[in-house]
Every structure is written in C-alpha cells, then in structure tokens.
Structure 1
Amino acid sequence: MESKAGKKRRLILDTAKQIILDSDFSSLTLDAVAKKANISKGGLLYHFPNKESLIKGLAQYIFDEFTFLFYKYAENDMNETGKWTRALIETTKFDLEHNGELNVGILAISFLEPEIAKDISESYMTILKKLEDDKINPLTATIIRHTLDGIYYSQLLNVAPLKKEKTDEVFQHLLKMTKSEEKK
C-alpha cells in the first residue's frame, strides 16, 4: 500500500507531467503545479524543494513508468519467443504517442544532468539485457532496438520524423520480425 507521502509525490509528478503535455515545458512552474494539484506550495516544496528537483524527479518518474509498462507488456505476452523485444516495441509506441512532448524536455535535462542520464542509461541497460536472451536471433533484436531508438530520436528531435501511418507500419513490421525468427 502506498503511503500518504508517496501518493502526494505521485500527484505532484502526474500534475507536472500534465502541465507540460497540456502546454509546454516553459509552463512548468512550482506555483502552477501546486495550484493545479490543489495543494499548498509548502506541501509541494516538502517533496521538491525547487524546480530543478521537480524536473529530476519527473525524469526518473517517467522512466520508471516506461519500465513498469515494459514489464507489463512482457507479462501479458503468452508467446515466450520474442516477448521482451515485443514489449520494448509496444512500450516505445505507447510512450511516443502519450509522452512525446514531455520526453523532449526530459531528454534535454538528461544532457545537463549527468546523474539523471546515468540512472536512465542503467535502467535502459537492464531492459536491453532482457532482449539478449529473448529466444530470437540476437541480431534481429539489436536491429529492432536501434530502429526504435532511431524512431524515438527523429520524432523527439524533429529530425525528419516519419508520419504516423508510416511509423505504425514500421512498428507492425518490427512486431512481425519477432514472431518470424527463432534464435540462431
């Protein structure tokens, strides 16, 4: 059971995330979060003493959500062969559709905060280790992973991003790749 403080912290982070998604990253202020979450500014400052700590907490929170969703997709996949790779595909697709704008800001923060970048990198490495023994050709899993990274970065950095229809086709093709190969 989540503690009262844990619930309040999650409320603050969810509210901060929603402010960014509804407006943009520059709209994120401590006052705006406190007001929208319907909590006192002192209550907010107890959990996040400044905007920098809020943004750091938000970066970790978003990646924790990504990781949770990754494991949830894998858990619901009844086909053991390629399930971790499919989970990464599905999680990436969901994340891009629901958190794309938010991730631009988080990506920028991670460049400025080596500690955040290190934590995210270590968490991502844990995810990637699951792909290594996914009962499909490891080269296929690597190609899929790098394709997902490319889609992610081209969309987040707005560098010749694919149109939604083409992105959906690519995701479907990647999913098929996980089902058509066994580990060689």
Structure 2
Amino acid sequence: MRRDELLDAAEEILCDQGSAALTLAAVADRAGVSKGGLLYHFNSKEALIKAMVERLIDDFDQLMAAQPDDTYTERYLGATLAAVRSGRLRRWAVVTGASGNIYLLAPLREAMARWHREGLDEEPDRLASQVVRLACEGLWDVSSHDPDLNTEDDLVALEARLRSLLKPEAMP
C-alpha cells in the first residue's frame, strides 16, 4: 500500500463522513490494509493529518509551477482552476480534519500567507490581483462543497472575466 493511497482514503473519510469519523482503524479499513500497515506509514492520527496538509501544499505548489502564465496571480488562477477541474479538492477535507489542532494547521496558514502575498508588488494592479486571488479562494471553497455548481462553460467564463481584471488596460 502506497502512502498516497492511505492519504486518499483518509481524505475520502473526511469528505464523506467528517472529522469525527477519521480514525486510524477507519482509514486502514477504507484503504484495505491492516492497522499495522497504516501505522508503518503514519504512527498517529496527527501524523496522518500533517501528511495531508503537506500534500495539499505540495500539490498546489506543483500546479502553480506548471502554469505558463506571466504573473503570479495568473498562475494562481490557472492552478486554482486546474484543482477545481481535476476534482481533487482536498482543502476542505484537510482543514476539517485538522481543525481541532492549531499546530497541524500552521503549515497551511503559512502557505496561504505565501500564496496571497507573493508577487503582489510586481503585479500591474495590486488590488485587482488581490480580488482575483480571493475569488479563487471562494471558487475552490464553494466547489469543494458543491462540485457540480459550475459547468465547464461557467469556469471558462469565470476565468476570462478574472483574467480581464488583471490586464493593465482594465485599470480605471
């Protein structure tokens, strides 16, 4: 059993049943491994949640790096839409699972601060960039709770509108 499959099983439990249902036994059962097999990778529930938080951060950083756009905010928008379109909306599941322990949320909070502050001074319109980044957060959050809300056409239209805010000629 691979580590990512165990993390996937834990995230499925969080999404399907909430944080109260996240136990090591439940994760082992969902993943089809013994509890000992799970403990080989994660010696506690906290270690499991920490790994989910770290994976979330790494995955989004990889999506950011894969974007061909010029500005940080354009890459942020592209990465957010890629996450929404892929259906791998881990943020809600991870935050729900970690919400009882502020220590486990610290890396996510640091990443969020980095994602929302990085490159702002280099943007043609700092305020528009902040608006787009906040819109991305809202899109991701709503999509994690209602993944069928936006069709592909909706996402294309939202992307076009948000990108238009980032163009210098759009500035008042």
- TM-score, scaled to structure 2: 0.74
After superposition, what is the alpha-carbon deviation per residue over 1:85-142, rounded to whole angstroms, capped at 9, x for unaligned? 0110011111122244533311212322212322111112112222312331101101
Q: Could you say which residue in structure 2 is the equivalent of 1:58?
A: 52
CA contact (8 A) 1:131 1:141 kept: no
Identity among equivalent pairs (%): 18
**Equivalent residue for 2:27, pick from 23, 26, 29:** 29
Q: 1:21 to 1:172 in 2, by over 3 A?
A: farther
Q: Distance in 2 between matches of 1:88 and 1:72?
A: 10
Does residue 49 of the first structure (1) align with residue 56 of the second (2)?
no
Judge which range, 119-128 or 165-174, deviates more. Answer: 165-174
- Aligned-pair CA distance for 1:67: 1.6
Given residue 51 of structure 2, which amino acid in structure 1 is its aligned partner? G
Gaps of 5+ in 1: 1-7
Q: Distance in 2 between matches of 1:21 and 1:151?
A: 21
Given residue 98 of structure 1, which amino acid in structure 2 is its aligned partner? S
- TM-score, scaled to structure 1: 0.70
Q: 1:164 to 1:110 in 2, by over 3 A?
A: farther
CA contact (8 A) 1:144 1:174 kept: yes
Q: Could you say which residue in structure 1 is the equivalent of 2:79?
A: 91
Q: Aligned-pair RMSD on alpha carbons?
A: 3.3
Q: Distance in 1 between matches of 2:118 and 2:38?
A: 37
Q: 1:181 to 1:17 in 2, by over 3 A?
A: farther
Written as runs of structure 1 = structure 2, the 5 A alignment for 1:8-157 is 11-12=2-3, 14-19=4-9, 20=11, 25-26=16-17, 29-33=27-31, 35=33, 42-73=36-67, 76-77=68-69, 79=70, 83-157=71-145
Q: 1:125 to 1:166 in 2, by over 3 A?
A: same
Give the match's secondary structure for 2:141. Answer: helix
Q: Distance in 2 between matches of 1:46 and 1:23?
A: 21
**How many residues are treated as equivalent by the alignment?**
163
Q: Distance in 1 between matches of 2:112 and 2:7?
A: 21
Q: Distance in 2 between matches of 1:124 and 1:24?
A: 21
Gaps of 5+ in 2: none
- Aligned-pair CA distance for 1:164: 4.3
